[in-house]
């Protein structure tokens, strides 16, 4: 944590955990082996984020597009999610971590839905790090859902079209209770956003690393945070304006 300025931390860090499959194949193992090792990284990074003082951490665990993977991988991942969540909840709770899930959860098997509901209820009163797991999530799906909700309010007469603002859209997203991420990290060398938080990432700093997710540890998170702190966030203003604002 050397040189990390604890007063200038992002409140919300979002991570696309990528590279489990490639990492496993590089070891001559099947893809699920990579996902199992990915859980170790999840544990380490959650622990590190809480210790550093990050308030919100969103992890992209499964996209709506991931449903099209081979059936054995999808079933294996679902089992892994349910087992991991059930196993980790007591420890998360002990560490004052609040769990939240975003995504099209209706698509999940009943056992998984129940495990997520239990984990959410058990940790609902916690006041430390909020850990948000994006499961069966895609940003375009979320934007379609938000549009339907807003259209319904207009149809019911609760809202007029000229009252619709950027805030109206934010308030109707699955992330309405959380601030937008200031930093988005993607592991494994791919430089894409892949249908993740498209609206919420409008002004986020993007950080890409070649490290595969199963090898991502606290030192890698700190490196990303240091990189974030070395950047000037201008939000469309000039550098001179930003320096006067500070
Ligand atoms: C992307 O790597 C990773 C996934 C689709 C699954 C991520 C899931 C975990 C790390 C387990 C997390 C568990 C909990 C409880 C949150 P990939 O398979 O796309 O890798 P590749 O690009 O190398 O093929």
pLDDT tens digits, 2-51: 689 999 999 999 999 999 999 999 999 999 999 999 999 999 999 999 99
pLDDT at 85: 94
Residue 143 maps to a domain: no
Residue 211 maps to a domain: yes
Residue 237 maps to a domain: yes
pLDDT digits (tens, 9 = 90+) for 195-217: 999 999 999 999 999 999 999 99
Residue 71 maps to a domain: yes
Residue 144 maps to a domain: no
Q: Is the CB of 214 under 6 A from ligand 1?
A: no
pLDDT digits (tens, 9 = 90+) for 82-119: 999 999 999 999 999 999 999 999 999 998 999 999 99
Ligand 1 atom having least distance to the Cα of 25: 23
Cα(17) to centroid of ligand 1, in Å? 6
Residue with CA at minimum distance from ligand 1 atom 6: 61
Mind giving me the DSSP string for the chain?
Answer: -TT--GGG--SEEEEE---HHHHHHHTT--HHHHHHHHHHHHHHHHHHHHHHT-SEEEEEEEEGGGGGS-HHHHHHHHHHHHHHHHHHHHHHHHTTPEEEEES-GGGS-HHHHHHHHHHHHHHTT--S-EEEEEEEE-HHHHHHHHHHHHHHHHHTTSS-GGG--HHHHHHTSTTTTSPPPSEEEE-TT----TTSSTTTTTT-EEEE--S-GGG--HHHHHHHHHHHHTS---TTS-HHHHHHH-
Arithmetic mean of pLDDT, 209-237: 93
pLDDT at 2: 64
pLDDT at 242: 79
pLDDT at 244: 67
Q: Is the CB of 217 under 6 A from ligand 1?
A: no
Q: Note if 18 is an active site residue.
A: yes
pLDDT at 127: 98
Instruction: Write down the pTM of the prediction.
Output: 0.95
Q: Is the CB of 61 under 6 A from ligand 1?
A: yes
Q: Is the CB of 181 under 6 A from ligand 1?
A: no
Show the domain range for 227. Answer: 12-137+179-245
Residue 156 maps to a domain: no
Is the pLDDT confidence value at 232 over 80?
no
- Work out how many domains the chain is built from and give that number: 1
pLDDT digits (tens, 9 = 90+) for 154-179: 999 999 999 999 999 999 999 999 99
Residue 236 maps to a domain: yes
Arithmetic mean of pLDDT, 217-234: 93
Residue 42 maps to a domain: yes
pLDDT at 243: 73
* CATH code where residue 211 lies: 3.40.1180.10
pLDDT at 1: 62
């Amino acid at each position: 944590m050397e040189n990390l300025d604890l007063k200038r931390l992002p409140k919300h860090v979002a991570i696309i955990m990528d590279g489990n499959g490639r990492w496993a194949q590089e070891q001559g193992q099947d893809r699920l082996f990579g996902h199992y090792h990915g859980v170790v990284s999840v544990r380490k990074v959650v622990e590190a984020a809480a210790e550093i003082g990050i308030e919100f951490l969103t992890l992209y665990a499964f996209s709506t597009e991931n449903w099209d993977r081979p059936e054995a991988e999808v079933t294996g991942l679902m089992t892994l999610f349910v087992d991991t969540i059930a196993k980790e909840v007591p420890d998360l709770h002990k560490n004052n971590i609040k769990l939240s899930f975003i995504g099209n959860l209706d698509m999940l098997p009943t056992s998984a839905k129940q495990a997520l509901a239990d984990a959410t209820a058990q940790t609902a009163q916690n006041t430390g790090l909020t850990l948000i797991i994006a499961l069966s999530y895609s940003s375009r799906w979320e934007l379609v859902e938000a549009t339907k909700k807003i259209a319904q309010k207009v149809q019911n007469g609760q809202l007029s079209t000229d009252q619709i603002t950027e805030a109206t859209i934010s308030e109707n997203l699955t992330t309405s209770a959380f601030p937008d991420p200031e930093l988005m990290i993607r592991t494994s060398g791919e430089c894409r956003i892949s249908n993740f938080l498209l609206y919420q990432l409008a002004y986020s700093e993007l950080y890409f690393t070649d490290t595969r997710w199963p090898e991502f540890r606290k030192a890698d998170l700190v490196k990303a945070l240091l990189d974030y702190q070395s950047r000037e966030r201008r939000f469309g203003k000039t550098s001179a304006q930003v320096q006067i604002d500070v």
